[in-house]
Amino acid sequence: IKFLVFSNFQYLLKTVNAEAEKLKQARDEFVAQWGALGTQWGINRTMAQIHALLMTAPQPMTTDDVMEDLEISRGNAHTNLKELVAWGLIRVVVKKGERREFFEAEKDVWQIFTIVARERKRREIEPALAILSKCAEESSGIKSPEGVAFYEQMRALEDFVGFASKMSDRISSMKHGFALQMAAKLLG
């Protein structure tokens, strides 16, 4: 009986280790791939990787943890952590009895979505609107057919982008549940 218990215990240990290994692999893959994807999104690779790492971290992590895990320099880790904090995708956590800062990711998908939507709007929609309305204004008095066509093209773009901007605000300000309901209607 002693032997059996021992053997079972060993088996359990093995299983646990194998599972831990599998999890580590899956997580590493997620971090690496998410980082690669970041470049497509116009976000830098490291920033996306850190975000992925923290989103799947069971505990808040320090700058050194991140450095070690992703094998990146302190400067790089620091800059991107702060950038993520600025976006609002991660938070600084202070632990009592600890001098170091810990970082923790926002894990709620709806929150993540609204943050990314807000940031994209700021970087992509708003500057576009500014350009369009300026160009529309500058060309508004021109009488030649080309001038009128240009003015109208600017206006059409401006209207559309402005409209997209409003939509984005509306959707972002919804509660998760409501957005889903809305969508169900739209998809149903």
Residues of this chain that interact with DNA (CB under 7 A) are: 39, 44-47, 62-64, 71-76, 78-80, 82, 99-101
Is-contact 105 90, C-beta < 8 A?
yes
d(CA 53, CA 47): 10
Q: Which stretch binds its own copies (CB under 8 A): 39-47, 62-70, 78-86, 96-104?
A: 39-47
CB of 38 to DNA, least distance (A): 9
What the block records as the tokens of 42 is 């116009």
Q: Check binding of 11 to its own copies (CB under 8 A).
A: no
Is-contact 116 138, C-beta < 8 A?
no
Pick 120 or 155: Cβ nearer DNA: 120
d(CA 2, CA 147): 93
Q: Check binding of 23 to its own copies (CB under 8 A).
A: yes
- Name the maximum alpha-carbon separation found in the chain: 99
d(CA 89, CA 81): 10
d(CA 150, CA 170): 30
Pick 48 or 154: Cβ nearer DNA: 48
Which residues here bind its own copies, judged by CB under 8 A? 16, 19-20, 22-23, 25-27, 29-30, 33-34, 37, 40-42, 55-56, 58, 107, 109-110, 113, 123-124, 127-128, 131, 134-135, 138-139, 141-147, 149-150, 153-154, 156-157, 159-160, 163-164, 166-167, 170, 180, 182-183, 186-187
